[in-house]
Chains A and B, each alone.
Chain A
């Protein structure tokens, strides 16, 4: 067997680019060889010769031929990614880290709360939860964004409203006159009916301040520390516990996370920084 380097990327072709908001696009890629992943795991996406950045796929993990990433333009690499057009080539390596332990969710109520670009990884998770819907108890989805025009996957998420047994509510920090949506922080729409909080799973994904307050709400609703799953964001370079960038207490976010239970990390100082 020839030796492999963990640093190389798999070549992918850009199949489609969808403009979600002025600063956010979703890229549909076709890898030259299969790249499987689980909801919550992340990958490093690179523009050849420019650099790479970490993203969690936003597509359903059972679709194997293509993979989607929803990417905000915030820096040098994402700037370059945003110039990509169908037919262009990019690199992807991974997946890295541990995703959501879906098997442990079976038979339990699942309460998912997302904010901002955190809705991208949660889209992957929601597809998997819909896929295993009959094995779950209640399924609750709460999502918040700054304004209605910042709302990722607006039409798609709204179409979920017709799904049986999904308790869904959306909110925005403030209205901007584009789409109709309730106004208020996501923590104000965390009431629900009939969830068994002693066993229920809480999932939060979004900006650190939002996760901090959502965690507080989960706790005051009675969710257990070990049942609250947080998707932590850290600076990542290697993705596999070598480069040292993503340390979170006594863990590396890339390899031990990026999904952690609150119980696992709550003792470390500065987890929300």
Chain B
């Protein structure tokens, strides 16, 4: 650890102008494979700097359509080759994810707990988490589907980032959240400058404004507070609400794959040039066979039971076993659902009698 200078001797060099941010990202591109949000028809999605010029990055706005988890816990990943006990070699260049939002960072809390346990840690996930650089950014607006504040989160990052960028006039206010992030600041002293006065206040005002937008969403929809959801799924275990909500479900599993905390997967084996390999692929608890046992018995035979299971897992199992709700309020499941199942509505019903 390098000793830090006493903070008051120098004003913080934490302003990064827009044009210098592009230089920073280009410089990082020498060591990292860079991904950043790029606006599209239904929201922004991550793109690679090899495909899209970094100048097109959209760091404000809201969470991307695709969850950041997909870079760390990939849709399909080779996890073993033959009888070899060593993990298969993976990419050589570490990742740099730019523009992760607070809800995605919260997703790391859940996924880290699942995949980085000391006994059976997932080597690929761990390596990606350790080698990647995560540059998050504040939300500068909110979607109707956003409800992070109901779960005690804020629409701006409060940890679990290496660097956070808060969009302000002419560029970003930058905060380092880890030694790795600080090292980036230290390595590019020419790019950062003292923030023009008033920018910190402007950032805080912008944050409050976005937070108020999410809070008014939450209030308008009667979305309950996460704290009040303990025991509610069990309370409503046999309620007709599940069948009501599941009546439009088409069993596509989009709510699972798009979710920053859904971690379920299936292992499958395949013959190949190496002999055979084992793959871990995303699985979805809404699909019929998810819990079916080999003999044919299916404990969650009906679609509504599987929908209930999703809520039970997130709002009962995780709080009981991991001390936190496995939902970040990002609203992606609501946006992705072809059946228009709205998680806020389900939670409101759960909070009722």
Contacts and interface: CB of A to CB of B under 8 A. Distances in A.
A46 B297 CA distance: 22
A250 B321 contact: yes
A7 B119 CA distance: 12
A208 interface: yes
A235 B263 contact: no
A91 B267 CA distance: 14
A137 interface: no
Contacts of B275: 48-49
Interface string B57-87: 0000000000000000000000111111111
Interface in B298-331: 299-300, 309, 313, 316-317, 320-321
A52 B88 CA distance: 19
A244 interface: yes
B297 A242 contact: no
A8 B84 contact: yes
A245 B80 contact: no
A217 interface: no
B80 A235 contact: no
Given A8-B80, A48-B275, A269-B237, 19 more contacts: A3-B123, A5-B85, A5-B88, A6-B121, A7-B267, A8-B83, A8-B84, A8-B85, A48-B276, A52-B267, A74-B294, A77-B294, A91-B83, A235-B290, A237-B265, A237-B267, A238-B265, A245-B291, A250-B316
Contacts of A8: 79-81, 83-85, 278
Given A49-B276, A245-B283, A250-B316, A270 B299 contact: yes
Most chain B beta-carbon neighbours within 10 Å: one of A10, A72, A245: A245
B272 to A, nearest CB: 8
A5 B290 contact: no
Interface string A1-33: 011111111110000000000000000000010
A108 interface: no
A11 to B, nearest CB: 4
Contact of A5 (B123, B263, B270, B295): B123
B85 A247 contact: no
Contacts of A184: none
Given A4-B86, A5-B86, A234 B291 contact: yes
A9 B122 contact: no
Contacts of B84: 8
Interface in B199-244: 234, 237
Nearest to A240: B120
Interface of B: 79-88, 114-115, 117, 119-123, 234, 237, 263-272, 275-276, 278, 280, 283, 285, 290-297, 299-300, 309, 313, 316-317, 320-321
Which 10 pairs from chain A and chain B are nearest by CB? A49-B271, A49-B276, A244-B264, A8-B80, A240-B120, A5-B87, A273-B299, A7-B79, A11-B83, A250-B320
A242 B112 CA distance: 11
B84 to A, nearest CB: 6
Contacts of A53: 294
Contacts of A222: none
B261 to A, nearest CB: 11
24 contacts: A3-B123, A4-B123, A5-B88, A6-B121, A7-B278, A8-B80, A8-B81, A8-B83, A8-B84, A11-B83, A49-B269, A49-B270, A49-B275, A52-B269, A207-B295, A234-B293, A237-B266, A238-B120, A238-B265, A244-B285, A245-B264, A245-B291, A247-B313, A273-B300
Contact of B120 (A78, A234, A242, A273): A242
B290 A46 contact: no
Contacts of A243: 264-267, 280, 283
A79 to B, nearest CB: 11
A126 B163 CA distance: 59
Contact of A9 (B83, B265, B292, B300): B83
Contacts of A241: 114, 117, 120
Contacts of B270: 49
A158 to B, nearest CB: 26
Given A6-B121, A48-B275, A269-B234, A233 B293 contact: yes
Interface in A201-248: 207-208, 233-235, 237-238, 240-245, 247
Contact of B114 (A3, A5, A242, A245): A242
A21 B263 CA distance: 39
A177 interface: no
Interface string A32-54: 10000000000000111111110
A263 to B, nearest CB: 17
Nearest to A51: B269
